[in-house]
Chain A
Amino acid sequence: MVEHCLRYRDDEPVGDPAVTVDAFAVQGNATAVRIEPGDDARALLPALDRIALIEINFPSYGDGRGYSAARILREHGYAGELRAVGDVLIDQLSHMRRCGFDAFAPDKPITPDAADKALATWPEVYQKTVDGRSPIWALRHGR
């Protein structure tokens, strides 16, 4: 278990260490995988139902590939924990949540109160993503 992890799930955290995408392809019995920015998240699609934790690493906050990786995993039905790790900053939490992350292990700790405030930034959203929120266009037309 990572220190300073913010979790928005009710199940028990996975204790297993995460393996790399390459290692997962060889030893397919691991239940936790770590995606680096250059990895193709689609490589995990055949095995999503037996993975309990996917960490997506952000070595630098400015590298946004992990947002697409997260959405792709959720769009294909991944239901396990999706954890953003690394250079994760408070001002990014709400976008990350919208892309399907439900756990955060930032290099620099973020307090739960500050996180709650950040996640409440946007009263509504313009896009349909994977977080279940109804976009503004749906609210306008009663959908």
Chain B
Amino acid sequence: MYQYDQYDQAMVDARVEEFRGQVARRMAGEITEDQFKPLRLKNGLYLQLHAYMLRVAIPYGTLNGRQMRMLGDIADKYDRGYGHFTTRQNIQYNWIKLEDAPQILADLATVEMHAIQTSGNCIRNISSDHFAGAAADEVVDPRPYAELLRQWSSFHPEFDYLPRKFKIAVIASDTDRAAMRLHDIGIQIVKNDAGEIGARFYVGGGMGRTPMIAPVIREFVPALQMVSYAEACLRVYNRYGRRDNKYKARIKILVHEIGADEYRRQVEEEFAHILTLGLEPPQAEFERIAAFFADPGLESGLADGYDRSDPDFAVWADQNTTPHKQAGYRAVVISLKPAGGIPGDATADQIRLMADLAEVYSLDELRVTHTQNIVLPHVKQSDLYALWQKLDAAGLATANLDLIGDIIACPGLDYCSLANARSIPLAQKISARFAEPERQRALGELKLKISGCINACGHHHAGNIGILGVDRKGTENYQLLLGGSEAADTSLAQIVGPGFSEDGIVDAIETVTNVYLAQRAEGERFLDTYRRLGMAPFKEAIYG
């Protein structure tokens, strides 16, 4: 894992001091809320319905036990004893007092963490594959590239007042586990025919009210020109992205309106100029960063296979662990989606337990997934049973990865001032309706995603089943969408028909799953059946 040197630490410390001063000026009334807003947003501090919310960055979703333990301690000390892991691989605290915020940032800085650029119209925390460094199918570990971009984008002086927020994801395998093409810039690290490593740039994807799948803007950017190319992409956007309407200000609209070819032409022109400026960190800097990720301490010579005699354990191991590139290991997904629970929430005690377990069983590494779960990436197969027992005792062994209970949901109207409808109670109702584990497994892979408003923080466009909360004449109403995918076969879900009440949408989902069970062909996932049959039989069953 990456470790700060004195420079990284000095930058984060400087930010803490700057923000301490800004909060003091606000508390003393020297600046207005309007003037303070952009400053607090640059530090991840939102004003929500009931309190301030603080969003802490977890760069590319990777953290160690010490950092995770701090997240638990902050939940206890400054919040109400829990935190919420987000679809951007970050964590949010929902009950923060303004006067505590600078000290929270100071506490985070002691474990090399921060909340820099987790909000505002700037380059946000960079996300990545939650199995990076463990996945058998990756070309290389994408995280050194993500870290290089993290440093480049931190306090970038030209791109702090973009037309709108800007999200970058970096992956390095053909299997997309990061919804890469639904980002403003999606980067896939690839190897070309000559065996050289480079970056394929997808630009102009996104969800929100106008979902778009990003087109390829360049097939191959040499690794040592990646920062320069990103700079060119951002500069064209900063100059020509729309600023007249915040709903049309994301880069996807620019790319769509002028076309991918014209955007590419402008970027290439800017790129040619930028290459003359020598902005790119040297190979030695990349190697310095990459060395931190090279070897987490995996043992070689271990055999695959483990004792599966406990049936409950075997069910969990089959559902929630995945193959590892190193023989004798598995990557473990800890579900934060217990039956009837709040997706992505974890108590301070659970967070600290996961920190302890990472130190004992996973070479001191954890990952946050964009599906709001936690990964222990490097677990020896011989340790799986002991690990499962400890997770089970803490309510963290729900065996529902990628099943209908593994719901993504935004905070919704319970917390968020932008929301039109509540997401959490609906997620809980759906989770309770399908709580029976055998029933979930019979349905197989089924990704259900809920957003409480058109901004789509709950990724409903990418749900096999997506739900969008809307306000209909003052009452909460839910639209049903089908057929989305965030994986390498990215597709956008389509609205089925008129919306539903909270109970009505749960019934409609059940109807949809019944159609699938009745019509599926051998080996088909829900998404496959939907793609084969189209919308009609589902619509007929719901409204017919």
Q: Quick check: B22 and A91 within 8 Å, CB to CB?
A: yes
Note all chain B residues with C-beta closer than 8 A to A29. Answer: none
B35 to chain A, nearest CB (A): 7
Note all chain B residues with C-beta closer than 8 A to A62. Answer: 38, 121, 161
Note all chain B residues with C-beta closer than 8 A to A91. Answer: 22, 38-39
Chain B 81-104, CB-CB to A under 8 Å as 1, else 0, gives 000000000000000000000000
Give the contacting residue for B284; candidates A98, A139, A141; CB below 8 A: A141
A20 to chain B, nearest CB (A): 18
Tell me if B152 counts as interface (CB < 8 A to partner A).
yes
Note all chain B residues with C-beta closer than 8 A to A126. Answer: 11, 151-152, 154-156
Q: Quick check: A140 and B157 within 8 Å, CB to CB?
A: no
Q: Quick check: A122 and B161 within 8 Å, CB to CB?
A: no
Tell me if B14 counts as interface (CB < 8 A to partner A).
yes
Q: Quick check: A65 and B154 within 8 Å, CB to CB?
A: no
A27 to chain B, nearest CB (A): 26
Q: Quick check: B238 and A124 within 8 Å, CB to CB?
A: no
C-alpha gap A37/B239 in the complex (Å): 9
Q: Quick check: B22 and A143 within 8 Å, CB to CB?
A: no
Tell me if A111 counts as interface (CB < 8 A to partner B).
no
Tell me if B296 counts as interface (CB < 8 A to partner A).
no
Note all chain B residues with C-beta closer than 8 A to A137. Answer: 151, 281-282, 285
C-alpha gap A87/B442 in the complex (Å): 60
B4 to chain A, nearest CB (A): 11
C-alpha gap A128/B227 in the complex (Å): 11
Q: Quick check: A64 and B10 within 8 Å, CB to CB?
A: no
Note all chain A residues with C-beta closer than 8 A to B151. Answer: 126, 136-137
Tell me if B29 counts as interface (CB < 8 A to partner A).
no
Chain B 278-294, CB-CB to A under 8 Å as 1, else 0, gives 11011011001000000
A131 to chain B, nearest CB (A): 8
Note all chain A residues with C-beta closer than 8 A to B39. Answer: 91
Tell me if B78 counts as interface (CB < 8 A to partner A).
no
Q: Quick check: A68 and B273 within 8 Å, CB to CB?
A: no
Note all chain B residues with C-beta closer than 8 A to A95. Answer: 155, 157-158, 160
B1-60 with Cβ < 8 A to chain A = 5, 7-8, 10-11, 14, 18, 22, 35, 38-39
* Chain B residue, CB-CB nearest to A128: B279
Tell me if A46 counts as interface (CB < 8 A to partner B).
no
A94 to chain B, nearest CB (A): 8
What would 26 A/B residue contacts be, using CB atoms closer than 8 Å? A62-B38, A62-B121, A64-B162, A65-B238, A67-B161, A67-B238, A75-B277, A89-B35, A91-B39, A94-B157, A95-B157, A96-B157, A98-B157, A122-B155, A123-B10, A126-B155, A128-B277, A129-B158, A136-B7, A136-B11, A136-B151, A137-B281, A140-B288, A141-B284, A141-B288, A143-B282
Given contacts A67-B161, A129-B158, A140-B285, 18 further A-B contacts (CB under 8 A): A62-B38, A62-B121, A62-B161, A67-B157, A68-B238, A68-B239, A91-B38, A122-B14, A124-B11, A126-B151, A127-B279, A128-B279, A136-B7, A136-B11, A137-B281, A139-B7, A140-B288, A141-B284
